[in-house]
Amino acid sequence: MNGYVFDIRHFSVHDGPGIRTAVFLKGCSLRCRWCHNPESHDMLPHETIVEKRVGDKLIMMPEITGKSVTPAEVLDEVLKSRVFFEESGGGATFTGGEPLMQPSFVLECIRLMKGNNIHTAIDTSGFAGSEDFASVVKETDMILFDLKHTDADLHQEFTGGPLEPILRNLRSEVMSDKPVIIRIPLVPGFNMAVKVYAKMAEIISGLNNLIRIDLLPYHHYAAHKYTRLGIEFKMEGVREPDSREVSTAADFFRNKGFELSIGG
C-alpha cells in the first residue's frame, strides 16, 4: 500500500507533545481561505515552478510537490528521531492536508509506529466520513482537532465545507475518552468574536479528555505559496491579529478554566 506525502519534518514542537516528526499528507477536501499548506490540497504529486537562487541570479525551476511512499518508508524516516521522542515524550504526528483523506494508509502507518512504541497523533479538520474517522481515531494515541467556527454558513463560506460532519465526529463515541487538543485558528473577519468563543467553549466542554486548547493566530507567511501554485490568495489585505486580540481570546478560554497554548 502506498500513500502520498509532501513532507516529513523532524523536530517539530508545534504538533503535539514533546519533539515530534510531522508527516504531511497530501489531499484535503476543504479550502480554508487562510490555509498555510495549499500545496497539500491536491492528492496527487504535481509540478510547481519555484524561484531558486544560483549565484546572484534568481531562476525559475520546476519542482515536484509530493511523492508516493509506503508505510514502511514513513516508519524508517520517523525512526531517525526516536531518541528525541524518548527524551521529550514526543512521537509522530500525521498532518497535512487532511490525513483522513488517506485513512487506510494512515492506519497502517499508525500500526507500524505503535509496533515500535512510538506515540502517535493525527492533526485533523474532522471533515471525514464517520467510519474512516472512527477507524483511525480508535488506534491513535492523541487527536489534534481543528475547531474553526460554530456557525454553519460562515464555516461553509470560509472553509468550503459543512460544519455538521465535523461536529458529529468531534462528539462521536470514539472520541469519548481520547486525549484531544482542540486547535482554533484565529482569523480576523471570520471567527474572532467573544460570542463565537462562547459557543466554542460550550462544544469543547463536552470533551472528557481535553488536554488543552491551542490558539493559532493567522499569519500570512504562506502567501507566496499561492503565487507559486497559481491559486488565488483570498486573504489578500487581511491583517494578522494583534497581541491585544489574541489576549482577548486567550483570556476568554483561560477564564473558562481551559488549559491553553498560543501557537501550538
Return residues touching ligand SF4 (CB under 6 A): 28, 30-32, 35, 37, 40, 96-98, 125, 159
Helices (H), 98-183: 103-115, 130-138, 152-159, 164-170
Q: Whose Cβ is closer to ligand SF4: residue 85's or residue 158's?
A: 158
Segment holding 213, helix H or strand E: strand 210-217
- Which amino acid is present at 243? S
Say if strands 3-12 and 210-217 run parallel, antiparallel, or are unpaired. unpaired
Q: How far is the CB of 264 from ligand SF4 (least distance, A)?
A: 13
Q: Whose Cβ is closer to ligand SF4: residue 32's or residue 136's?
A: 32
Say if strands 46-54 and 57-65 run parallel, antiparallel, or are unpaired. antiparallel
Q: How far is the CB of 29 from ligand SF4 (least distance, A)?
A: 8
Q: How far is the CB of 31 from ligand SF4 (least distance, A)?
A: 5
What is the distance between the alpha carbons of residues 166 and 240, in angstroms, rounded to a whole number?
A: 26
- Which amino acid is present at 264? G
Q: How far is the CB of 109 from ligand SF4 (least distance, A)?
A: 18
Q: Whose Cβ is closer to ligand SF4: residue 85's or residue 133's?
A: 133
Q: Whose Cβ is closer to ligand SF4: residue 118's or residue 144's?
A: 144
130-138 and 103-115 helices, crossing angle to 10°: 10
Q: Whose Cβ is closer to ligand SF4: residue 34's or residue 85's?
A: 34
CA 94 to chain centre: 8
Q: How far is the CB of 126 from ligand SF4 (least distance, A)?
A: 9
Helices (H), the chain: 71-79, 82-88, 103-115, 130-138, 152-159, 164-170, 194-205, 223-229, 243-255
What is the distance between the alpha carbons of residues 241 and 121, in angstroms, rounded to a whole number?
A: 28
Q: How far is the CB of 32 from ligand SF4 (least distance, A)?
A: 3
> Is the distance from CB of 59 to CB of 51 less than 8 angstroms?
yes
Q: Whose Cβ is closer to ligand SF4: residue 6's or residue 253's?
A: 6
Q: How far is the CB of 15 from ligand SF4 (least distance, A)?
A: 13
Residue 124 β-bridge partners: 145
Dig out the grid coordinates for 19 from the structure: 519533539
Q: Whose Cβ is closer to ligand SF4: residue 75's or residue 123's?
A: 123
